[in-house]
Structure 1
Amino acid sequence: MSKVILQPSGNKDAREHYENTIQSPVPIQVLSEYLSKGTINQLKAFYPDELVPTWGVTPGKNNVNVQKWGKIQTGDVTVFSANGRIFASGVVVLKLQHKGLAARLWDYDKSGQTWEYVYFLDEIKQHAIPYIEFNRAVGYADNYIIQGFNVLREELSERILSSFDLRSEIYLPDISEEEYEQELLQFEDHDNLDTNRLGKGRKEQSFLRKQLFKNKKVGVCGICGNQYPVDLLVAAHIKKRSKCSRDEKLDFRNIVMPMCKLGCDDLFEKGYITVCNGKIQRNSKKEYTPHLFEKVVQIETSECLYWNENTRKYFEWHQQQ
């Protein structure tokens, strides 16, 4: 699950760092002087404009920040705060420790430390969230003031991410197949969409989306074949999830495919289109308005990119409904 990173930014150093390496992102050319070719290639894939919003924290007194920084992972959301409000957020893409890079970007503080525990951000958004709204969302006292770098536990993070719509659909936490299976086992006997299920079930969705999109910003709809930003694509089950056995749910490489929110997901889920031997077909059992018929005709007979011998049985189940 994604976590929230609290990053107060009201002092002089933090304000300057925000202006110099977030508002004015660091050119990859500068980073390439310090980082490996493999890391630079990773960053180029995430930042096609080759401008990288960059942040870092010092080890802190008695290395207090090191363990906190160690908890950070891809998909976590940093919230920047100052003057009684959260003013910006960014999603973690990658992290690394590099004292030389940090010194180049930010120099050293008065205690001789530099901000060597570095992480790179994307999806920078501006906000104006008063502390009192943040505090009530997370369950803190109204007069709580964000002080010091911190990484919140998952339960508190979930409240913030949901309350202020901060979660990324592109950068997702790393979830192992074992964690995915555990998630399925936890809910298979009571798979209702209550609040608890919605919160914890996001681990399952994050896993499936990561398998399909792999932190890419653009993907292809498996039905219409059109390319879209991934926030306009869903990880759709070919066979309705509620009808899947546990083994079928675990067959995630074959039972899930990307479908666009611009029509294909609903058309497929509600049975207006089916897939037969790899071709998109109109369902003759359904009634169509003229506009719906026009929409379906545009994709009818197209090749389904995800039809193969491994997915065939799931498409056949869907066709028989």
Structure 2
Amino acid sequence: MGSYNRSKNVNANKWDRIQPADITFFSANRTLYSYGFVTYKIHNKSLAEELWGYNSKGETWEYIYFLDEIREHTIPIALFNDIVGYSENYMIQCFTVLDEDKSNALLTYFDLESETAIQPVSQDKYKENIDSFKVEDLDIEGKSKNRAEQSFLRKTLFGNKTIEACGICGKEYPISFLVASHIKKRSFCTNEEKLDYNNIVMPMCKFGCDDLFEKGYISVANRKVLVNKKVATEPLNSYLNSIKGKDCESWNNSTEIFFEWHRNHHSI
């Protein structure tokens, strides 16, 4: 995708606000009919000329951004306008970048998330969200802070990887099937512990390990996965036995204190 520049660098300024993992919507006939996730952007007039040539005004789409995970998703323009606070008859007519409040409202309403791209969040922004976050924040702003925190933690864990191993079972999955899971339950963490982001979280898969750890069915000690005594069925016991005794790569001298808290918290 690309955009040509307008007078006073209007489109260039809009393009400059685009970040990896941002969502681009396509609209026509009063409907947002599909969307994709931004993976990369580049200002390259020569490439734009090669790809698209020039329009009748001698302009080319030199402000380029690349998309992945293109999906169909029919959203009536009236619903879009209502969500972001535009007037009922507003029409999307050109390249537009929503501000943070409107973007958060749209993301919260549809719960849209990339399978691979991770929104960049600075360390300062992460700290700011930790300091200001309240459990009772269930509004759009609170959910936005939670998304930013998760994005930061996932970027810390996965970097630019698209595949990573679960820290419990050791199996590799696309990162969309992995959770940045707190070793010590987040609600019990001090702000100082939350800011220890290199040690407080680890990757766990959504195929059982994250839930089992969260509910205390498994713990980690001395680098090994332990199975705790809990009510279980035959299929559950089969899964537990398959991960019992596995090495946990996330266990080390810095994380040991959090794993110890987890064991004590779930001890019978």
TM-score after normalising by structure 1: 0.79
- Is 1:304 paired with 2:258? no
Q: Indicate the SS of the match to 1:115.
A: coil
Structure 1 counterpart of 2:121, from 158, 175, 184: 175
Displacement of 1:255: 0.9
Q: What's the counterpart of residue 316 of structure 1?
A: 260
Structure 1 counterpart of 2:82, from 136, 139, 155: 136
Structure 2 counterpart of 1:242, from 169, 177, 187: 187
- Is 1:70 paired with 2:16? yes
- Is 1:56 paired with 2:2? yes
Q: Highest relative contact order (Cα 8 Å, sep 6+), 1 or 2? A: 1
Aligned 1:192-211 pairs, distance under 5 A: 192-195=136-139, 196-211=141-156
Note the alpha carbon deviations across 1:50-92, whole angstroms, 9 max, x for none: xxxxx11001233221111111111111101112211211111
Q: What's the counterpart of residue 213 of structure 2?
A: 268
Displacement of 1:246: 1.6
AA aligned to 1:289 is T
Aligned 1:86-101 pairs, distance under 5 A: 86-101=32-47
How big is the alpha-carbon RMSD for the aligned residues of Structure 1 and Structure 2?
A: 1.4
Note the alpha carbon deviations across 1:101-121, whole angstroms, 9 max, x for none: 000000011111110001111
- Is 1:217 paired with 2:162? yes
Given that 2:108 and 2:143 are in contact with CA atoms closer than 8 Å, whether structure 1 keeps it comes out as no
Q: What's the counterpart of residue 152 of structure 1?
A: 98
- Is 1:228 paired with 2:173? yes
Aligned 1:77-88 pairs, distance under 5 A: 77-88=23-34
Displacement of 1:169: 4.4
Note the alpha carbon deviations across 1:160-194, whole angstroms, 9 max, x for none: 1232333324212221111111111112xx33352
Q: Which segment drifts farther, 257-266 or 81-90?
A: 81-90
State the alpha-carbon separation in 2 of the partners of residues 214 and 266 from structure 1: 24
AA aligned to 1:220 is A
State the alpha-carbon separation in 2 of the partners of residues 191 and 319 from structure 1: 24
Change (3 A) 1:121 1:162: same
State the alpha-carbon separation in 2 of the partners of residues 60 and 167 from structure 1: 31
Q: What's the counterpart of residue 25 of structure 1?
A: none
Count of aligned residue pairs for this structure pair: 264
Runs of 4+ in 1 over 4 A off after TM superposition: none
TM-score after normalising by structure 2: 0.94
Change (3 A) 1:165 1:197: closer
- Is 1:291 paired with 2:226? no
Q: Which segment drifts farther, 215-224 or 150-159?
A: 215-224
AA aligned to 1:130 is P
State the alpha-carbon separation in 2 of the partners of residues 108 and 214 from structure 1: 37
AA aligned to 2:52 is W
Note the alpha carbon deviations across 1:207-266, whole angstroms, 9 max, x for none: 001111224322211000111121111110001111111211111001100111111011
Displacement of 1:129: 1.8
Gaps of 5+ in 2: none
State the alpha-carbon separation in 2 of the partners of residues 260 and 292 from structure 1: 16
State the alpha-carbon separation in 2 of the partners of residues 225 and 125 from structure 1: 31
AA aligned to 1:292 is L
Note the alpha carbon deviations across 1:123-172, whole angstroms, 9 max, x for none: 11122222112122222222211111111011111121232333324212
State the alpha-carbon separation in 2 of the partners of residues 179 and 268 from structure 1: 28
Gaps of 5+ in 1: 1-54
- Is 1:282 paired with 2:227? yes
State the alpha-carbon separation in 2 of the partners of residues 194 and 109 from structure 1: 47
Percent identity between matched residues is 49
- Is 1:116 paired with 2:62? yes
AA aligned to 2:243 is I
Q: What's the counterpart of residue 41 of structure 1?
A: none
